[in-house]
Chains A and B, each alone.
Chain A
């Protein structure tokens, strides 16, 4: 603009009327002022859709029936979660049971050992002692029955203990658990011996043990096994 008349200047000034505030801002400010609320920045259809969606979403949760149902489901879910946490899981429960049975078994073995050593020192041929030993062996047999998985070390321990029982045929007792215990111990011992390197004499003895096992003479078989181990 080099030369400008007064009329042109006034027209230029009039053109400044084109300056107008942002419509959204105008609406926002007015609603803030007069309605004491701060609406979202969005206006128009998008805003209307958003508000409508949010309103309906909110209204869903304010309906009584739905709110109660939701609360009930929430309580149920929390209850189930808590209950499953209290119960032992499938992975852990057999281990716990096994450990419990194993410890019980070892305790019975220890008890039997103590009783045998004490009684053999005092009254070797006493009938009372034999009955007591029988009772302890029965307890051990029941423990063994409850603990199906036993390591060979434990079996060896039981075998030694049973072999120390002085001059009594424990299989003569009518307790089937005791018979099963002897059977288990002998079978396990045979399996262990087959894995080890044996002399010719030991091999012959092992064959005899196998024969005795097949005949159901577990105590005799156990005695021969102990001879091999010595």
Chain B
């Protein structure tokens, strides 16, 4: 049991920021992101404890839970993509001065707004690949699609995002 704790502790440390960020970019505000991320890790920990075999790809497993949780969240809210980007994101950069921080925060808001206007499948691959540096092969495995399809999705997603941001 102790070893399970230690193992999941490592997984937690490795993925907490990524899962939070992934959720945060898809929902309204940090509180909702925290709430959903908590549920993701609780479910992940339960699955981790109950599983007879070790989970091969914990990252993919947690992302999958997170995707489903976000869908459930919007289903519960009665809306799919009506997301406000008014809430300022938390920027953990103590070295940045307030002016830079404001500019950075403004850029982040613009990008976040743009991401939220993308198709859901494009959102995920863009975040995973460009933000979390996930290799295309892993994304392909995660969404159960060929690598070529992932490349196309990335290309189209990036183009759409560019257009959205330029129009804003």
Using a CB–CB cutoff of 8 Å, the interface residues on chain A facing chain B are 1-4, 6, 9-10, 12-23, 25-26, 29-30, 33-34
Contacts and interface: CB of A to CB of B under 8 A. Distances in A.
B111 A15 contact: yes
A13 B21 contact: no
Interface in B1-32: 5, 8-9, 12-13, 16-17, 20-21, 24-25, 30
A162 B142 CA distance: 121
Contacts of A33: 8, 12, 41-42, 45
Nearest to A9: B162
Interface of B (DSSP majority class): helix
A2 B162 CA distance: 10
Given A4-B165, A4-B166, A14-B130, A19 B24 contact: yes
26 contacts: A1-B166, A1-B168, A9-B165, A12-B107, A12-B110, A12-B111, A13-B130, A14-B131, A15-B107, A15-B108, A16-B25, A16-B108, A16-B127, A16-B131, A17-B21, A19-B25, A20-B90, A21-B16, A21-B90, A26-B16, A29-B16, A29-B37, A29-B38, A33-B8, A33-B41, A34-B5
Given A19-B91, A20-B17, A21-B34, A1 B165 contact: yes
Interface residues of B, number: 40
Interface of B: 5, 8-9, 12-13, 16-17, 20-21, 24-25, 30, 33-34, 37-38, 41-42, 45, 89-93, 104, 107-108, 110-112, 126-127, 130-131, 158, 161-162, 165-166, 168
A19 B165 contact: no
Given A9-B158, A13-B130, A13-B131, A19 B108 contact: yes
A113 B13 CA distance: 105
Q: Give chain A's interface secondary structure class.
A: helix
Contacts of A9: 158, 161-162, 165
Nearest to B34: A25
A20 B107 CA distance: 16
Nearest to B12: A30
A138 to B, nearest CB: 95
B166 A22 contact: no
B108 A18 contact: yes
Contact of A21 (B9, B17, B45, B165): B17
A126 B149 CA distance: 141
A19 B89 contact: yes
B63 to A, nearest CB: 16
A4 B16 contact: no
A18 B91 contact: yes
Contacts of A16: 21, 25, 108, 111-112, 127, 131
Nearest to B18: A17
Nearest to B126: A13
B123 to A, nearest CB: 12
Contacts of B41: 29, 33
